[in-house]
Amino acid sequence: MAQFKYGSSTPSEVLSDLAAKNNVSVLDKDFQVFLDANDDLANLRDDFLIPKKATSPGVECNDKDQNESCVYFCGNSLGLQPKSAQQDTKKVLQNWELNSIECHKVGYLPAIDCDNHARDGMAKIVGCHRDEVVIMNGLTVNLHLLMVSFYQPTQSRHKILIEEHAFPSDYYVVRSQIQQRGFDPDTSMLLLKPRKGEEIFRMKDVLEVIEKEGDSIALVMLPGVQYFTGQVFDMETITCTAHAKGCYVGFDLAHAVGNIELDLHDWDVDFACWCTYKYLNSGPGNLGGAFVHKKFDDTKLPKFLGWWGHRESTRFEMSNDLDFASGVESYRLSNPPPLLVACVLASLKVFDKTSIRKLREKSFLLTGYFEFLLKHYFSKQLGSTKPSVEILTPTNFNERGCQLSLRFSCSLLEVSSKLKKQGMIFDTRQPNVMRVSPVPLYNTFHDVYQFIQALRKALSS
C-alpha cells in the first residue's frame, strides 16, 4: 500500500486526512470501499481459502447468505489455508507413489533436502542469513533444544528472565529446564511484571530489571509479541542491554513472525524459535522455525545431537564419526517431513509476492481503522450505562502488530456468542479478553467494517 506509508503520524491522523481529501468521514460506509479499492495488496486475499458462513460451526445464515464469507480475525491463533497447499501436498504424495524409495532424491520436494527449500523465504521474513535458520520440530521442542545450549547456569548466574504471564508452554519449558539443571524454579525464574494496575510492560522497566539483575541472569527469554496483549517488545534494545550484562538472549517469535518486521542477525539476537501456523499459515501443529546467530558457528556449545544434524556431505557414510554441521543446522535431529514442508512453502510463496514492510504499511491502516471505529462507537462514556470496549494493546503502532486485545464491560461470553452467529471468527482468552487480528495478507477494510457493525448489533441488544 505504497500511498499509505506510516511515519510520525498516527493511524487515526492518516485515516482522517485520507477521508477529508475524499470528502467522506472515516465512519462512512464509502470510506472502507475507498480503502479496499486503493489497497495494493488486495489481490493476495485470492491466494487463501476464506471460510464460508454456510460451513462454519455456530454461524446462523439463511439461504441467500450461504456463499458469504465469514470475517476471519483469528490469524493470531491459526492462519488461513493457502489455496496451493492442497495441490502441493498432493504432489508430495504422488512423488512417493511414483518413485517409492527414490522420492528421497527425486521429484517434488525430495525428502532428503525438502526443508532446505524453505530456508531462503524464512530468512527473508525473520531478517537473517540463510544458514542461520532452519525449520524443524515444534516450537516447544526447539526451545528445549536451544536452551540446552544457551541456558548454562552457575551458582552466581542461574536466573532466566521471562514475563510473568508468559504463554504456558514457555513457562513450562523454562521451569523444567531450571529443574533439570538442579536449580529451584522459585528462585531461578525471574518474572517480569508490568506496573500495578497496568497490562502493558514499560520498556524502561524491562531494561531496568536487566540492568539491576543482569549479573545473576543466565538467559533473557522474552516474546517478540506478547500473546495476550499483542504488545511488541523492543528486541534490539533488550538484546543490547542484556549482552552488556553478560546474558544470553532468546526470543519466542510465535506471535511476531510474519506479523512485524524482524532483523534477528543485525539485532545480534543469540537464538529464536517460532511456530509457522499463525501468521505464517502453514496449518495446525506444523513445523517450527529456529534461528541461531552465525557468531556461534564455530562455538562448541552443549547440545542434544541427532543424525540429521550431521554434515550433509558425510551424513550417509554411516560411520558414527561426529562430523556435525556448524551453526543452527547441527540442531536438526531427524529427517524432515515433505508433507509438512509443502504446507510451509505454500504460504512462503504468498509472502514472496510482497514484503513484511509492505504488509506493515497496510496493517498500519487496517488495524488503525479497526481501532478508530472501536473507540468511536464503544469507548466508555462518563455516566453512561451502555456496554463499552477497552483496548489493551498499545496505541503506538511500533508497539503492536495486527492484534488488538479487547476487554468488555459486559459478558464476554454473551457478546462472543452473538458475534459468532453473525459469522465473526476470533478467539478469547480467560478471564475476559477477546483477541481480534486483521491480517494484511487476507483481511480487508470491509472485514473491519462488517465486524464493527456486527458488534454494534450485538451490544445494542
Question: Is pLDDT above 70 for 6?
Answer: no
Question: Is pLDDT above 80 for 2?
Answer: no
| CA dihedral angle for residue 340, residue 344, residue 349, residue 352, rounded to 10 degrees | -160
Q: Span 150-169, mean pLDDT?
A: 96
- In the three-class reduction of DSSP (H, G, I as helix; E, B as strand; rest coil), residue 50 is classed as coil
Confidence of residue 67 (pLDDT cuts 50, 70, 90): confident
Contact 189, 174 (CB under 8 A): yes
pLDDT given at position 314 = 87
Q: Span 176-187, mean pLDDT?
A: 97
Please give the Cα distance from 225 to 304 (Å, whole number): 28
Q: How confident is the model over 303-317, as pLDDT tens digits? A: 999 999 988 888 888
Q: How confident is the model over 75-93, as pLDDT tens digits? A: 999 999 999 999 999 999 9
192's enclosing H/E stretch is strand 189-192
- The neighbouring-strand residues paired with 435 are 405, 427
Question: Is pLDDT above 70 for 165?
Answer: yes
* C-beta atoms surrounding 301 within 10 Å: 13
Q: How confident is the model over 364-398, as pLDDT tens digits? A: 999 999 999 999 999 988 767 889 999 999 999 99
Place of cell 491463533: 77
Q: How confident is the model over 183-194, as pLDDT tens digits? A: 999 999 999 999
- The neighbouring-strand residues paired with 273 are 252, 290
Question: Is pLDDT above 50 for 182?
Answer: yes
pLDDT given at position 5 = 54
- In the three-class reduction of DSSP (H, G, I as helix; E, B as strand; rest coil), residue 72 is classed as strand
Contact 294, 133 (CB under 8 A): no
Domains and CATH numbers, the chain: 2-69+355-460 (3.90.1150.10), 87-351 (3.40.640.10)
CA distances from 358 to 62, 232, 440 (A): 38, 18, 9
Confidence of residue 7 (pLDDT cuts 50, 70, 90): low
What percentage of residues in the chain have a pLDDT greater than 70?
Answer: 98
Question: Is pLDDT above 50 for 362?
Answer: yes
pLDDT given at position 413 = 93
pLDDT given at position 3 = 42
Mean pLDDT is lowest, of 196-205, 377-386, 409-418, 419-428, for 377-386
pLDDT given at position 312 = 87
What one-letter code names the amino acid at 458?
A: A
What one-letter code names the amino acid at 95?
A: N
Q: Which residue has the higher pLDDT, 310 or 221?
A: 221
Question: Is pLDDT above 70 for 284?
Answer: yes
pLDDT given at position 431 = 80
